[in-house]
Amino acid sequence: MSKLILVTGGSRGGKSAYAQSVAEALPGPRAFVATCPVIDPEMQERVRRHQLARSSRDWRTIEEPLDLAAAFQDAKEQPVVLIDCLTLWVNNVMYEAEQQKKAVSEAEIARRCKPVIAAAREHGGTVLFVTNEVGMGLVPENRVGRRFRDLAGRVNQIIAAACDEVFLVICGQPLKIK
């Protein structure tokens, strides 16, 4: 059975760097599951910097914007898996639904978490999830923003409950909360 760790915090607060350092302290090889679609030059540059930071440290990158459970099948040879990040995954799920003229409910996003948790538990190594804590700021002014905040909050609660450890990273400093 895998050890599951959730790393959360605000944007640019150091969560990805912290999760990467935890992963790199473990014996590799490692898989980095990237959920971020590259949609513009600025995002392409961010992705390039993240890849460069992992380039010499025994990482394999798996790009999977939607089917996180399937990513574990691709990562079966890597005992350490880092999924970065769940909030972009929520964004991708919402975008996919919007393209089909549908909306994602909290019940639907909760249902989508179940196979991810099951696949993570079955993996057999250490799995780190990175997510943004989006519920500590202002209430979004529009319906889509509020839905995103609510769905991300639901995912964070579900994944945190399933994890063995949870860290909140603030100003680059990790605080163990579970």
pLDDT digits (tens, 9 = 90+) for 134-149: 988 888 899 999 999 9
3-state SS of the chain is CCEEEEEEECCCCCHHHHHHHHHHCCCCCEEEEECCCCCCHHHHHHHHHHHHHHCCCCEEEEECCCCHHHHHHHCCCCCEEEEECHHHHHHHHHHHHHHCCCCCCHHHHHHHHHHHHHHHHHHCCEEEEEEECCCCCCCCCCHHHHHHHHHHHHHHHHHHHHCCEEEEEECCEEEECC
CATH of domain 3-176: 3.40.50.300
What digits encode the pLDDT tens for the residues 38-62?
A: 778 887 887 787 777 777 678 999 9
pLDDT of res. 119: 97
pTM of the model: 0.93
> Is 50 in the active site?
yes
Backbone angles phi, psi at 62, to 5 degrees: -120, 115
pLDDT of res. 56: 67
pLDDT of res. 143: 93
pLDDT of res. 75: 96
Domain map (residue ranges) of the chain: 3-176
Low-confidence stretches of the chain (pLDDT < 50) are: none
User: Catalytic residue among 50, 123, 149, 154, which?
Assistant: 50
pLDDT of res. 67: 97
pLDDT of res. 79: 97
